[in-house]
Structure formats: C-alpha cells, structure tokens
Amino acid sequence: MSTRDRILDAAAHVMRTRGLARTTTKEIARAAGCSEAALYKYFRDKADLFLAVLSERTPNSPVAMFDGLRQRVGRGLLRETLEEVARAAVDFYHHTFPIGASLFSEPELLAAHREALRRYGIGPQHVVDTLADYLVAEQHQGGIRPDADPQAAAALLLGACFQRAFLCHFVDRPDDEDARRSFAASLTRTLLAGLLAPPGDAPGEAVPVRDEPGPERASG
C-alpha cells in the first residue's frame, strides 16, 4: 500500500470516529505511521484531505455520477437517473454526516473550513446546483413540465436524503441497503408526480411522460 493510501485510510478512520472538528493532521499522520511532513507531500491541508476522503474513501461516492449528469440529458429514463441520484445521495450523506456534523459546534473551524472549500471551488451547494442544471436541461428537452422549478426539485430530493441520514444517526434508526433503495424509489416517484404532471393552469396540455425511452434514448 502506498503512503498516500495509508494516509487516506487513516484520515477516513480518524474523521469518522472523532469528527472533522476534532481531527488534526498530526493525529492522522500518527495513525498512518508517517510524519506530518510526509502527509503534506500529498495533501495541502485538512480540507484537501477531507475532499479526498469524500471522493476516494466513501462507499458509493457520487462524485463521478454527478460529474456525468450532463452527459445523461436526453438518455435513458428520467426516473431511473433520479432514483440513482437519490440512492447515491442517501449512501453519501449516511457515511459523511458524522464526519462534518462536529464542525457546527466550532464556529471558527466551520468558517475556516468553509473558506478552504471556497478556495477549492467546491462545497455542498454545488451538488444541488449540479442536479438542478441537469433538470433544467431535461426541462428544455420537454421531459419536465415547463412551470416546474428545477432548483426547488433538486433541493427537495437531496434535502430529503440528507434529513434521512440525520434521522438514522440521531434516533439510531435501523438502516440497510433494501431500506435505502425503497426510500430512493418512493422519493423519486413522489417528486416525479409533480415534475411530470400537466400544468394546472393549462388543462389538456400535458408534458409527455417518458415511460419508455424514445429512439434517441434507446440508441444511447
């Protein structure tokens, strides 16, 4: 195993057991069996380590899927894409909520972390924006009713996934793969009932519901 991999494994373990606010690079280096100097050869700071843990040490990390949403516009079934997004978000938030929650007890650390993410051009808001951009593109192709609000729809889907992660940890609610899949399917079905329904002020002018892929989608 490379030094970088050892550092990432150690960072993931320490962050999940102690929370991000109480995690130090010194402690991560000690857990990885290397010096802090060695750690900084691979990572610029704790925020850089945190981002690497999210993308490389989080089960079913949704990073690649969100990056590829633009290429999925007009291909496959909208329901399947959103359900996949929901499943990935449920898994992601479930595994990362305990890491980041501790930051909110330390306002100065939270501000520093927010600034670090801003410098890297990333943050939790970008996930919502990326999904909203995908929904806007689908809307332009006629897959979503014209009076729907893509930003609100993205916030509803991802916000529900985040709340589920919070409740599972807070009330110690039983959780398994089947329960997550069922939640993602139900959430997607409920969201699409609003996105695909005909506009209320224009009866009879329903936006076509894509139950089956069209010729372009079938070829993709």
Specify the pLDDT at position 47.
83
Residue 117 and residue 123 in contact, taking contact as beta carbons nearer than 8 Å: yes
Specify the pLDDT at position 197.
57
Spatial separation of the C-alpha atoms in residues 94 and 82, rounded to whole Å: 18
* Nearest partner of 50 among 125, 127, 135, 116, judged by Cα: 116
DSSP for 165-192, written as a single string? HHHHHHTT----HHHHHHHHHHHHHHHH
Spatial separation of the C-alpha atoms in residues 96 and 90, rounded to whole Å: 10
* Per-residue confidence band for 94, with pLDDT thresholds at 50, 70 and 90: confident
Specify the pLDDT at position 164.
94
Mean pLDDT is lowest, of 54-63, 73-82, 97-106, 123-132, for: 54-63
Spatial separation of the C-alpha atoms in residues 129 and 89, rounded to whole Å: 14
pTM: 0.73
Specify the pLDDT at position 60.
65
Q: How far from each other are the two terminal CA atoms of the chain, in whole angstroms?
A: 39
Domains of the chain plus CATH, in order, are 1-57 (1.10.10.60), 59-199 (1.10.357.10)
Handedness of CA 109, 115, 121, 150 (dihedral sign): positive
Q: What is the pLDDT of residues 141-196, one digit of tens each?
A: 888 999 999 999 999 999 999 999 999 888 877 778 889 999 999 999 999 999 98
Answer whether residue 201 shows pLDDT above 50: no
Give me the long-range contacts of 145-152 (CB less than 8 A, separation at least 24). Answer: 145/195, 145/196, 145/197, 145/198, 145/199, 145/207, 146/199, 146/207, 147/199, 147/201, 148/194, 148/195
Cα separations in angstroms, 99 against 21, 50, 94: 8, 9, 10
How many CB atoms are located within 10 Å of the residue 152 CB?
14
φ, ψ (nearest 5 deg) of residue 106: -130, 90
Answer whether residue 109 shows pLDDT above 80: no
Answer whether residue 203 shows pLDDT above 50: no
Helix then strand then coil, in percent of the chain rounded to 5, is 70, 0, 30
Q: Tokens 């995690």 belong to which residue? A: 23
